[in-house]
Structure 1
Amino acid sequence: MRRARNRLVSAVLACTALAAAAVPSAAYAAAPASLPQHRHRSAAAGAATSTATAETIRQIPLQGAVNVRDLGGYRTYTGGQVRQGLVYRSDALSRLTAADITTVAGLGLTKAVDFRIPMELQYDGADRLPPGLSPTSRPISDLGLYGTLVTVISSGDPVKQEQMLGGGRAEAYMRDVYRTFVTNPENRAQFAATLREIADGSQGPLLYHCTSGKDRTGWMSYVLLRALAVPQETAESDYLASNTFRAAYDAQVRAGLKQSGRMQNPDLLIPLQEVRRDYLDAATAQLEADYGSFYGYLTDGLGLDLRTLSKLQGKLVR
């Protein structure tokens, strides 16, 4: 009974792999394999703006994960293009099917970096990976969000849920989480270590992920793309695209919560399930306040020297 309750709770958390009831694989097919590069925003986040470019997002279609992508293909403002097949971003890989594992094996990964904290692993389980590939645990703080949501959802109390998540409190919480990506020294060290590994010429294809593949993974991807001289608008579009890839699955989870009686108003979770431009803005404003510029964040905040930044360019941009 306790295990079933744990699975239900873990399934619905905004920053978790949504695992509650068994979601049909058809839910994953709703995310297009190739998506125009524009600013994806839900109705709650605001209308989409910006014109689509010729670039597309390269999704890796899987049954047990919805937000797996090759980060390559983007044009840089220096006239180059990010190489494909070297860096992948993902949501949790703990529910991959046997067919998924075969697909992932075909990527030739030499490292899979897991940003989840121990509590997430406890509820969601370890990654399922091809033989010979073990996850590298590199936890990045969620500022207690996961534990808070476990408590709130487990309570089944609509008053408590409204008090915790309503009235803009969920959005404020998410902005605080994003600020800690910049202010927390342990978080900075984990992001920096991953960037150094990506820059390492002896390191083969690498994948990094959190649980939903949108916040910690989204920030990591935004920083990497900006460091590679991908235009800021393009890096933002990659970040916001998680809303499109996760929309059908997240909506199904909310419907399951309502049907189960766990939440009378599961829409309270939407600000936690989505990525939003103002969340990203909270992090970028923090880095400017602390380090003066994005370059200052890379060098002073993350401790990346010019040699490492040059190696990133040389390895990933053609």
Structure 2
Amino acid sequence: METNRVHVPSSNLRELGGYQTTDGSFIKYGLIFRCGHMSELTPEEEDIYRSLKLRLIVDLRRDDEVTERPTPSFGSEDNIHISVSDPDNAFAEAAAKAHEPDAENLILADATRYYREVVTDNLHRYIPVFDKIFDADNHPVLFHCTAGKDRTGFVAAAILKFLGVDDETVFADYLLTNTLLGDRTEERLQAWAKRMANQRGTPITEINEEALGALRILMLTHADMLQSTFDAVDELYGSWDEMRRTGLGISDEKMAAFCEAVLVKNSA
């Protein structure tokens, strides 16, 4: 994993540039970026974002997430909000099971089902997202959610698959979140535990280690989760290309134009 692909680890900011496709092409650097929320950036980190000279930010979050953690302006970009989630918070509902028996397996099952339902139930929500990303007039483009791992992870994986990047690389990119956010996982976990304790009206000390272990599942990326998306694509569409055509309405002509805009025959 080239270090020049990661720009701001604390916000999970990285790009898809540099990845090689199965036909030997490379994704151009500096065009397609992904990250989590940007409401806690240092001035130095804001300068890094500003240096990207973004034309468009696509915000995948729910309305309440946008209000809670607003995105700063970097001066050159439009910011469009396209929520791809139901109004309720599926991951918060999963987290509420942290004190139940076998909580880790219950939460993992819920999260895995969420990834599957992106394809089976919610793919239509992503149509305008890909429409914006596939428009070269919007490049450099950044898409993001709150942690930059689930909703953002699906969009990134789909783009890589559409461009012909191999599965091993797609999964490695998805799992990179665990490395970048690793130092902040425990901090985020304690904040979530505090919020849960407040909701339950109990001291945080009553959130036991088993519950914390279950919550930790939601803080990280897991190959099984993304695999459930891959399985759903295979079962419903037979291939990622067919999902692109019939599920997202992206024609072969539009795909060819996107490839022309973002691929190059060498990695320079």
TM-score (norm 1): 0.73
The code of the aligned residue for 1:68 comes to: L
Structure 1 residue 139, shift from structure 2 partner: 0.7
Distance in 2 between the 1:164 and 1:69 partners?
A: 37
- 1:192 matched residue in structure 2: 127
Counterpart-to-counterpart distance in 2, 1:262 and 1:180: 33
Give the aligned residue type for 1:299: R
Distance 2:110 2:161 in 1: 25
Tell which deviates more after alignment, 299-308 or 82-91: 299-308
1:303 aligns with 2:249: yes
Equivalence map 1:152-231=2 (5 Å): 152=96, 161-163=98-100, 166-184=103-121, 187-231=122-166
Q: What whole-Å deviation, never above 9, does each CA across 1:203-237 have from its counterpart, x for those lacking one?
A: 22000001110111111111101111111211111
Following superposition, the deviation at residue 196 of structure 1 comes to 2.6
Query: Matched residues in 2 for 1:240 and 1:85: separation?
Result: 21
Match of 1:43 in 2: none
Letter in 1 for 2:156: S
**Structure 1 pair 203/171, CA: closer, same or farther in 2 (3 Å)?**
same
Question: Is 1:70 the equivalent of 2:15?
Answer: yes
Q: Deviations over 1:90-148 (max 9, x none)?
A: 011122233322221110101011111123224x3211121353421111116632442
Residue 251 of structure 1 pairs with residue 186 of structure 2: yes
For residues 19 and 139 of structure 2, the distance between their equivalents in structure 1, rounded to whole angstroms, comes to 20
1:114 touches 1:135 (CA, 8 Å); kept in 2? yes
Q: Which residue of 2 aligns with 1:105?
A: 50
Matched, 1:59 2:6: yes
2:65 corresponds to which of 120, 129, 143:
120
- 5+ residue gaps, structure 1, are 1-35, 37-54, 153-159
Question: 1:200, 1:91 → 2: CA distance?
Answer: 22
TM-score by length of 2: 0.85
Query: For each residue in 1:45-90, what CA deviation from the matched residue of structure 2 results, as whole angstroms up to 9, or x when unmatched?
Result: xxxxxxxxxx55611126xx43100110011111111000000000
SS of the aligned residue for 1:272 comes to: helix
The structure-2 alpha-carbon separation of the partners of 1:262 and 1:209, relative to structure 1 and needing over 3 Å to count, comes to farther
Q: Could you tell me how far 1:255 is from its partner in structure 2?
A: 4.8
Q: What is the aligned counterpart of 2:73 among 119, 129, 134?
A: 129
Could you tell which deviates more after superposition, 276-285 or 260-269?
A: 260-269
Matched, 1:294 2:231: no
How well do the aligned residues superpose, as a CA RMSD in angstroms? 2.3
- 1:164 positional shift: 8.1
Distance 1:225 1:234 in 2: 9
Quick check: which one's helix share is greater? 2
- Percent identity between matched residues is 26
Q: How many correspondences in the alignment?
A: 252
Matched, 1:236 2:171: yes
Letter in 2 for 1:293: S
Change in 2 beyond 3 A, CA 1:57/1:286: farther
